[in-house]
Amino acid sequence: MEAELVNEENGTRDRSAARQCGPDLVRTIACVFVVGAHFYLNIGYYNEPMNGPKMFVMTGLRWLFVTAVPLFFMLTGYFKSRKKADRLHYFALIPLLISYVVISVAKMLLYNRLYGKIYDLRGIFKNLGNYQIAWFMGLYLCLFLLIPFLNKMWYALDMREQNILIVTLVFLCCLYPVFNYIAPSYFTGIYPVLFYFLGIAVRDRRWRPDRRVLLLVLVIIVVLEAFISMRFTSTGLFDWNLISTADGTYGTLFISICTVCIFLLFYDVKTLPGIIPAVLASISRVSFEIYLFAGAYDAIIYSYVKRYVSSATEGFWWFCLTVPLSFICAYISSVIFTKIVGIVLNLTGLFHDR
């Protein structure tokens, strides 16, 4: 999802051979996690009683998958730490906006066909403008506009001050609602800034903790999240406000720990065998488009799945079919779409000599 989603080394989509394998791997994992998270929305998980081993496994994976959004923001910081408030930076938005508008309109027309007329012409413009059809675009746009100024702020600080800033943002963004009698909730929504700065810090300082420790911490946190969600639900269903909030899930403590663990596990992977690096690079270049297209393919795929599945636990094993199918279809569509857009932009000369 996103413009790290666009490789940001030079402000354009990076098609060079000398790509870093690790960031592409992180981006691909995050992209798969996005499609995995959508499974829960489509299979009826949030209306299913929280009991049984299948729901435990599904709940643990659900918490793992929602790290996708903060992973993308860490990648943004990792790649955009040197961006300035110049034309090159702002022109990098144009391909994303084109993808957002064209694919989102196509999705709304598809939804009209599948579910009856939901969006009239006014509704299409309204949903494009308020980002309801692809909420991440609106969130990323806000961060994108701040990036040059966040960079200036970060590099104006010495390392001690940078560390204090990160600790402060953890207090403001992550502790509520896990410690809701200690941490205030007013600034939980600025978690993208925290992950942006974490991405810069990883790039600058090249943190390399023991991978075995990172993996152990990741597994423990995911199991703990599943246990708390199952054991302490007040309604018998998934409780959004138990260890997260409906609006601030991505910045809460457990999600933040898991996000950093995943990023540090894979960001500095140097080489992978065979064609894997090329595949990861190809997926990485079209991650934002995959995010947009996946919702359309989810609508088609799950309209059929729901004919055979009446509950989330019944759909447990469908995950192994629906998520890869949606991802592959979205990936193929994204590659074709971006090639067409690239041809059109080259013909217009819009990015020549930028």
Contacts of residue 187, Cβ cutoff 8 Å, sequence gap at least 6: 172, 173
3-state secondary structure of 17: coil
pLDDT in tens, 60-112: 999 999 999 999 999 999 999 999 999 999 999 999 999 999 999 999 999 99
pLDDT in tens, 107-123: 999 999 988 888 999 99
CA 73 to chain centre: 8
Cα 48–325–319 angle (5° rounding)? 25
pLDDT in tens, 117-168: 889 999 999 999 999 999 999 999 999 999 999 999 999 999 999 999 999 9
Contacts of residue 256, Cβ cutoff 8 Å, sequence gap at least 6: 70, 170, 173, 174, 191, 194, 195
Sorted by where each begins, the domain ranges of the chain are: 21-348
* Residue 89 CB neighbours (<10 A): 17
Handedness of CA 211, 216, 219, 224 (dihedral sign): negative
pLDDT in tens, 245-269: 766 578 889 999 999 999 999 999 9
* Residue 35 CB neighbours (<10 A): 26
Q: Are 54 and 316 in contact (CB under 8 A)?
A: yes
* Lookup result for tokens 């793992």: 64
Amino acid type, 341: V
* CA 78 – CA 135 distance, rounded (Å): 22
pLDDT in tens, 305-350: 988 998 899 999 999 999 999 999 999 999 999 999 988 888 876 6
Q: Are 346 and 86 in contact (CB under 8 A)?
A: no
H or E element that contains 280: helix 276-285
* CA 177 – CA 66 distance, rounded (Å): 17
* CA 310 – CA 53 distance, rounded (Å): 18
* CA 306 – CA 287 distance, rounded (Å): 27
3-state secondary structure of 50: coil
Instruction: Quote the pTM value.
Output: 0.91
φ and ψ at residue 322, rounded to 5 degrees = -70, -40
Q: What is the mean pLDDT of the chain?
A: 90
